[in-house]
Amino acid sequence: MNRAERLRVAFTGGRGAHWHPTDALVRGLVLGVGMVVLGGVLHEVELVLFGAPLLLSTLLALVTPVVGTPEVRVRGLPRTGEVGAAKSVVEVDPGLGAEVLAIRLPGVGAGIGPVHLLSGQAREIEVVLRRDAWGEGVDLRPDHLVAGPDALFVHGPVTAAERGRVILPPVEALPAGLLPARAVGLVGAHRARRPGDSVELRDIRAFQPGDRLRRIDWRVSLRASAGAAEGTNLHVREHHAEADADVVLALDTRLDVGAELGDWSVPAKVASGRALGRSLGEWSLASRGTTVRPAGSLDLAVRAAASLAAGYLRQGDRVGLVDLGRPQLGARAGAGRRQLLRLRNQLVVCARSAGWAQRPVLRPEQVPHGALVVVLSPFLDAEVVELAVHAARRGNLVLAVDVLPSPLRADRETPWGESALKVIRLEHDVRLEAMRQHGVAVVQWGAPIAGVLRAARTARRVTR
């Protein structure tokens, strides 16, 4: 017997999903017959008056037909959704003769919800589903029980299948001054160094064989031809080419830490429960829907990656995703609204599979030449720093986004908590400064990144 069958037997008491009599039917028959017979034998009219209605109501419930197999279906529940409230409809077919429906529906908070008693005439029930955390989770499990007249016959209880959604990471407002990457394509939204057919003027030069006539600048040509002895001196307008930018989001899923140093060694749900100060049952439902620490480094990294992807894709760039801990979970670079949906789904997959890996991996074939590499990490070890520096040495512009929660709080339960906090801060600052010395732009998530990228690009040109 597998786990699902054991759960069904434990929930239904081994009776299965079919119409069966309840204990009330047995009690009604025994008490009704007993009181009528006892009243007749003892010549007590009161016993007959009490037992006859009970016996008649039980017999009436027995002759009332209760047929059909109750069915409960969920309609309008998408596979993916956004953080917040959503609506769904539960369709109910209780069968002929049903009077009461007991069904489990979501309540005000998270989780599968309490049991609600409804009339047997209910056919469609509108439910409101609310999730305040991104990630995978169960939204609805319509366990149900259908009762006939006087609840003498019931169908179930039935343990329904769990229905869940994938809540996508939210796209937040980008820091001011988002700067596009260096253009390397043929057609796109940014200015490239090569000449092309955009609207931005690059130069005016003399006409050459092969130039298009529509590029001729007649004003400059007439001015240059004035007084010329050899006829018209034609000049053409040369424009910049427009190109797309390639952006690679490198997500570090090996570490997930919060602001409390004392919680770094405990699981994410336990840490979130301590932070919220709730009981076991409450915080387990509150954290449902996400597999990371709320407001932790991985949560910030996923939100930052989704926001950066939305910003660059809105400009027409190509954006790809690389999981530094598990490179097989990345996503190829693409453009458009469908690519944003693909990246947000893949971010949930990466967070679900997050865990410690010995070394981060960023293969050269995963990074197009000239692409902007955005490394999102708390930078708590030297391996990810070396990875960012090697990417910069290969000729890519690298932006290191620090997602370490700030400010960090020492562990108050140990006497060396403050000392450990100082050591962690100093080592973290040394790693960030080492990346700056090697040409990597470093910024903490939430700060403007345009100036940092512009300064890093200028420094690279001066070095060249």
Per the prediction, the chain carries an average pLDDT of 81
Per-residue confidence (pLDDT) for residue 269, from 0 to 100: 55
Question: Residue 275 — very low, low, confident or very high, per pLDDT cuts 50/70/90?
Answer: very low
Q: Considering the entire predicted model, what is its pTM?
A: 0.74
Average pLDDT on 366-388 reads 93
Question: Residue 231 — very low, low, confident or very high, per pLDDT cuts 50/70/90?
Answer: low
pLDDT of 457 above 80? no
User: Where do we find the tokens 């997050």?
Assistant: 354
Per-residue confidence (pLDDT) for residue 72, from 0 to 100: 92
Q: Are strands 153-158 and 19-21 parallel, antiparallel or unpaired?
A: antiparallel
Question: Residue 404 — very low, low, confident or very high, per pLDDT cuts 50/70/90?
Answer: very high
Contacts of residue 279, Cβ cutoff 8 Å, sequence gap at least 6: none
Beta strands in 351-393 (DSSP E): 372-377
What are the backbone dihedrals phi and psi of residue 342, each rounded to the nearest 5 degrees, phi first? -65, -40
CB 359 within 8 A of CB 386: no
- Please report how many Cα atoms fall inside a 13 Å half-sphere around the Cα of residue 316, on the Cβ side: 11
CB 96 within 8 A of CB 68: yes
pLDDT of 198 above 70? no
Average pLDDT on 138-145 reads 90
Peptide bond into 327 cis (omega under 30): no
CB 443 within 8 A of CB 376: no
Per-residue confidence (pLDDT) for residue 182, from 0 to 100: 46
Sign of CA dihedral 312, 314, 320, 322: positive
Per-residue confidence (pLDDT) for residue 244, from 0 to 100: 64
Average pLDDT on 439-445 reads 92
Per-residue b or e along 232-245, where b marks 16 or more CB atoms closer than 10 Å to that residue's CB: eebbbebbbbbbbb
Residue among 251, 372, 243 nearest 316 (CA)? 243
End-to-end CA distance of the chain: 69
Structure tokens that stand for 63 in this block:
């002759």
Q: Which residues pair with 337 in a beta bridge?
A: none
pLDDT of 30 above 90? no
